[in-house]
Amino acid sequence: MKHTSIRLADGRELIYFDEADDAVRASVDQRDLAAPPAPTQLRRDPLTEEWVAIASSRQGRPLLPPTSECPLCPSKPDYFTEIPADDYDVAVFENRFPSFSTSAAIEPGSLSGEPPEVRSDLSDGYPSTRPGVGRCEVVCFTPDHESSFGKLPESRVRTVLAALAQRTAELSQVPGVEQVFCFENRGVEIGVTMHHPHGQIYAYPYVTPRTRQHLAAARRHLAATGRNLYADVLAAEIADGARVLARNDHWTAFVPAFARWPFEVHLAPHRQVPDLAALSDEEREAAAPLWLSLVRGFDALFHSAMPYIAAWHQAPVREDRELAYLHLQLFSIRRGPGKLKYLAGSESAMGAFVNDIPPEEAAAALRAAMQATLS
């Protein structure tokens, strides 16, 4: 695989990931673009001690443009897109409407951009703010606008995985970045603004709240048992077997016994690694067919395109890497044909989930759907 970096008309970076080592990328972005938007601002919520990004420029991003105006398709002589070339395999570029940006200033004397210690008595001012340091990237899986992740060949999924691993390694070196998150939002029910098959990468300037929760639990488990928490969960699921969907020499896919979403699957490597960049070539090769099979099973479940989020949980860049355990969480808000799970009062206000579908039933349904895609 070959990757080539170019600059778009407004200075943003684009990287082609080509499956042919002799690919040549000479196309130039011919658009006349405005300068990138002003950096975002982070504001601290003192009630939860979490950061909220204020990113008003994102209001201007495209909303479900027609195919003829899709910015993720290859460029044509009569329509220039974010991809200057007339074809590509996988392309990754800096988001034109980012939640975080490398143009944000880092606090003097601080590599990570963390402000001085924030006091809970609000004596540092209200609200406490900091620059939205980081980077947001778009990952185009295919030039085919009408395709989807589940329709990709295994070879392309391997290219996507290689691209995500490379970007994780590169973004982890960016000053101010504390965590790299690779994900795909699929379906208007999830909130996508473009139909073209694509994922995203967020390089956060802080460790996200969900990851902090995972790490805190892992730290307590390690202190009590001397073992890794997620490794123990994986071992317990394999031993039980009732919710295991598929396995190979390097990975296991299962519906967790504690699933909070109607249909939720974890795909985990058998070896504890902190992130995608730490996987071996063999492990990435083995992940591709299982990831693809799970997505195809989701689509086969109700014989329609399933809205889902595919989220790669990775370790923070600089802390607790020995506690984290890389895994993919694939989940949908669809609970049945024509039925969605809405995050209403209990989930949205209290963070207390209620799942309508027992994980064992979800696992049985997904196994049957995955098997159907093979026949």
Residue positions annotated with a catalytic role: 198
Report the b/e string of 53-75 with b at 16+ CB within 10 A.
Answer: bebebbeeeeeeeeeeebbbbbb
Between CA 80 and CA 269 the distance in angstroms is 40
Q: Cα angle vertex 323, ends 321, 325, to 5°?
A: 85
Sign for the CA dihedral angle at 243, 246, 252, 255 comes to negative
The DSSP output letter for 172 is: T
Q: Exposed, middle or buried by CB within 10 Å (0-12, 13-18, 19+), for 45?
A: exposed
Spatial distance between the Cα atoms of 54 and 238, rounded to a whole number of angstroms:
42
Q: Is residue 147 within 8 Å of 161, Cβ to Cβ?
A: no
266, containing H or E segment: strand 263-269
Write phi, then psi, for 41 (nearest 5 degrees).
Answer: -120, 140
Cβ-based neighbour number of residue 52 at 10 Å: 12
- Tokens read off for 334: 């669809």
Whole-number Å distance between alpha carbons of 111 and 288? 35
What are the CA-CA distances from residue 98 to residues 90, 201, 241, 365 (Å)? 20, 11, 42, 38
Two tokens, residue 200 = 């995203």
User: DSSP E strands: which ranges in 162-220?
Assistant: 179-186, 198-204
| DSSP string for residues in 292-332 | HHHHHHHHHHTTSPPPEEEEEE--BSSS-TTT---EEEEEE
List CB contacts of 310: < 8 A, sequence separation 6 or more: 149, 183, 184, 186, 199, 291, 295, 328, 329, 330
